[in-house]
C-alpha cells in the first residue's frame, strides 16, 4: 500500500514500502518535457537532463558522480519524455542516503559549465544520428511528428540538430531554473526503508522552498482530419518499417484503458489477431504489433510492422481488412477474456519490480491524475464489455483520419498507392 504526502511547498511524495526486497528505488519526476518547448528551444528538456550528470561543486565531473554509484552496484539513469522528465537510482537499501544525496546534489547543484555543454552538443547530435539511422527506433518519432503535427506533442524530444548546436548556456540555465522547482516535482521512494527516517532524509536533502503550483500545460485542440496523411522517409533497407495510427482517448480519459485493451486484442501478443493473420497465416511480415502512445489531450492507437518491401501493399491492405473486420464484429467473449488475462498477468508481473510499481504511481501523479493502484486498474479492466471495445474501435478507426509513416526505399511518387488502400 502506498502513501501520498503533500508538503507545504507543493512537492508530492509517494512512499511505497516493499518488505520482500532488500533494495530501494528513489525516483524524481519534473513536469517538463518537449511539450513545454517552442521551436527555438525544442530539445532543451533533454539537453538539461544530460547536464544533470556533468558535475556539481561537490562532484566536479561525470566520473565523480558515477564512481560513487558504481562503487555500491547501483543502477541509475534518467529519461525525458514529451510531458515529464525523470531521474532515478536503485540501490541496496543500506545506501539510500548516498542515492538521495547524489540525486539532490545533481538536481540542485549542477554547474552547467560551458565546456561541458559544448562537449555534450556532439553527444546529443550523435544520439539523434543513432535514432535516425535505425528505422526500428526512428519510426515512432517520425510517426508522432505526423499524427500530432502542428501541435506541441508533435515536437521531437531530442530536438533538431540546429537547436542543439546553437542553444546558449544562458538559455539552458534559464530553462532549468524556470521548470526545476519543488512544486513541479514528485518524489517517489519504493522498496525497503524506514518511513520516518526516509522522510527525514528527503526533507533535508530536498528542502522546503517557496510554494509554487505545478506546471499546467495549455490544452491542445485537434482539428478534424479530412483525409489520410502519409509520410514517406526514403531509406535504402531490406526491411520496411510501417506505422499506421489514429488519434484515440487521452491518458486521463476513462476510455484510455479501453483503448489499451483494444490494442492488446488486435496486436498485443503472439496470439493476437494481427500477429496470427498477417504473420502466421499470410507470411507478410516478421513482426507486427499494436499499442497506445498515451498523452494528455490525445493519444495514438497504432499498428507497427516490419515488412518485406515487395509485400508492403498487400500487407497494408490485409491490416486494413483485419481492422475493418474488428470494427464490424468486435471481440468474441473468449478473445476478450484472454486479452484481459494477458493484461492482468503482464501488469502483475511488472509490478513485482518495486521500481516499476513506483513509476506506475508517479506517472499518474505527475500529470495530475487521481492515482489508481493496481487492484483498482484490474477491477476497471474486469468491467469492460465486448460491445464497449467494439464501439471504441468504430470511433477510433476512421480511415479518413488515418496516419501512415513508412521508412524504406520508397519516394513521394509511391504515395498514391498507399492512399488508394487507405481511401478504399
Mean pLDDT value across residues 334-359:
97
Using CA atoms, how far residue 393 sits from 121, 211, 278, 299, in Å, is 44, 44, 19, 14
As a whole number of angstroms, the distance between CA 329 and CA 252 comes to 27
Banded model confidence at residue 214, pLDDT cuts 50, 70, 90? very high
Mean pLDDT value across residues 199-211:
97
- What is this structure's pTM? 0.96
- Domain 229-422: give its CATH code: 3.30.830.10
pLDDT per residue over 291-334, tens digit each?
A: 999 999 999 999 999 999 999 999 999 999 999 999 999 999 99
As a whole number of angstroms, the distance between CA 25 and CA 409 comes to 45
For residue 45, pLDDT beyond 90: yes
Coil vs helix vs strand at 234: strand
Beta bridge partners of 232: 406
For residue 235, pLDDT beyond 90: yes
The pLDDT value given to residue 144: 98
The pLDDT value given to residue 238: 85
| Contact indicator for 307, 284 with CB cutoff of 8 Å | yes
The pLDDT value given to residue 237: 86
Beta bridge partners of 187: 13, 28
The pLDDT value given to residue 291: 98
pLDDT per residue over 250-270, tens digit each?
A: 999 999 999 999 999 999 999
| Contact indicator for 25, 190 with CB cutoff of 8 Å | yes
As a whole number of angstroms, the distance between CA 352 and CA 182 comes to 29
| Contact indicator for 273, 311 with CB cutoff of 8 Å | no
What residues does each domain of the chain span? 3-205, 229-422
Q: Are the folds of 3-205 and 229-422 the same?
A: yes
As a whole number of angstroms, the distance between CA 188 and CA 196 comes to 15
Lowest mean pLDDT among 59-73, 157-171, 223-237: 223-237
Work out the percent of the chain whose per-residue pLDDT is above 90.
96
For residue 274, pLDDT beyond 90: yes
Coil vs helix vs strand at 59: coil
| Architecture label for domain 3-205 | 2-Layer Sandwich (3.30)
CA end-to-end span of the chain: 51
Q: Are strands 229-234 and 3-6 parallel, antiparallel or unpaired?
A: unpaired
Mean pLDDT value across residues 208-232:
93
pLDDT per residue over 368-422, tens digit each?
A: 999 999 999 999 999 999 999 999 999 999 999 999 999 999 988 899 999 999 9
The pLDDT value given to residue 95: 98
Coil vs helix vs strand at 178: helix
* Mean pLDDT, the chain, whole residue set: 96
Banded model confidence at residue 52, pLDDT cuts 50, 70, 90? very high
For residue 223, pLDDT beyond 90: no
Listing DSSP states for 2-57 in one string gives -EEEE-TTS-EEEEEE-TT-SEEEEEEEES-SGGG--TTTTTHHHHHHHHTTS-BS
Cβ count within 10 A of residue 25: 27
| Contact indicator for 34, 151 with CB cutoff of 8 Å | no
As a whole number of angstroms, the distance between CA 52 and CA 110 comes to 6
Q: Are strands 12-17 and 185-191 parallel, antiparallel or unpaired?
A: parallel
Residue 273: half-sphere exposure toward Cβ, Cα within 13 Å: 25
pLDDT per residue over 115-144, tens digit each?
A: 999 999 999 999 999 999 999 999 999 999
Q: Are strands 285-294 and 299-308 parallel, antiparallel or unpaired?
A: antiparallel
Listing DSSP states for 354-365 in one string gives HHHHHHHHHHHH
Mean pLDDT value across residues 85-105:
98
Amino acid at each position: 500500500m502506498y502513501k501520498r504526502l503533500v508538503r507545504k511547498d507543493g512537492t508530492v511524495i509517494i512512499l511505497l514500502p516493499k518488505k520482500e526486497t532488500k533494495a530501494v528505488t528513489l525516483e524524481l519526476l519534473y513536469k517538463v518535457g518537449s511539450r513545454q518547448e517552442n521551436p527555438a528551444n525544442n530539445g532543451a528538456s533533454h539537453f538539461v537532463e544530460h547536464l544533470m550528470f556533468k558535475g556539481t561543486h561537490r562532484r566536479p565531473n561525470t566520473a565523480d558522480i558515477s564512481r560513487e554509484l558504481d562503487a555500491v552496484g547501483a543502477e541509475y539513469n534518467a529519461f525525458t519524455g514529451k510531458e515529464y522528465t525523470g531521474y532515478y537510482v536503485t540501490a541496496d537499501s543500506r545506501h539510500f542516503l548516498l542515492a538521495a544525496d547524489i540525486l539532490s546534489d545533481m538536481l540542485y547543484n549542477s554547474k552547467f559549465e560551458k565546456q561541458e555543454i559544448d562537449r555534450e552538443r556532439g553527444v546529443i547530435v550523435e544520439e539523434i544520428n543513432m535514432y535516425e539511422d535505425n528505422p526500428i527506433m526512428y519510426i515512432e518519432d517520425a510517426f508522432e511528428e505526423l499524427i500530432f503535427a502542428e501541435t506541441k506533442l508533435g515536437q521531437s524530444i531530442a530536438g533538431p540538430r540546429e537547436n542543439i548546436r546553437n542553444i546558449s548556456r544562458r538559455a539552458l540555465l534559464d530553462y532549468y531554473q524556470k521548470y526545476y522547482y519543488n512544486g513541479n516535482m514528485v518524489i517517489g521512494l519504493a522498496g525497503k526503508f524506514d518511513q520516518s527516517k526516509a522522510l527525514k532524509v528527503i526533507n533535508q536533502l530536498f528542502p522546503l522552498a517557496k510554494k509554487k503550483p505545478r506546471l499546467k500545460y495549455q490544452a491542445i485542440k485537434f482539428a478534424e482530419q479530412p483525409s489520410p496523411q502519409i509520410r514517406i522517409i526514403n531509406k535504402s533497407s531490406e526491411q520496411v518499417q510501417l506505422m499506421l495510427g489514429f488519434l484515440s482517448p487521452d491518458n486521463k480519459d476513462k476510455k484510455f484503458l479501453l483503448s489499451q485493451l483494444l490494442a492488446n486484442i488486435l496486436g498485443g501478443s503472439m496470439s493476437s489477431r494481427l500477429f496470427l493473420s498477417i504473420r502466421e497465416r499470410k507470411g507478410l511480415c516478421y513482426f507486427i504489433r499494436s499499442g497506445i502512445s498515451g498523452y494528455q489531450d490525445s493519444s495514438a492507437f497504432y499498428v507497427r510492422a516490419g515488412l518485406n518491401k515487395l509485400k508492403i501493399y498487400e500487407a497494408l491492405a490485409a491490416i486494413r481488412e483485419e481492422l475493418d473486420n474488428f470494427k464490424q464484429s468486435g471481440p468474441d467473449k473468449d478473445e476478450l477474456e484472454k486479452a484481459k488475462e494477458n493484461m492482468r498477468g503482464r501488469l502483475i508481473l511488472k509490478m513485482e519490480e518495486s521500481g516499476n510499481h513506483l513509476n506506475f504511481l508517479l506517472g499518474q501523479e505527475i500529470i495530475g491524475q487521481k492515482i489508481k493502484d493496481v487492484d483498482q486498474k484490474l477491477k476497471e479492466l474486469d468491467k469492460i464489455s465486448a460491445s464497449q471495445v467494439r464501439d471504441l474501435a468504430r470511433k477510433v478507426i476512421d480511415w479518413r483520419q488515418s496516419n501512415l509513416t513508412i521508412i524504406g526505399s520508397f519516394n513521394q511518387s509511391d504515395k498514391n498507392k498507399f492512399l488508394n488502400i487507405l481511401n478504399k
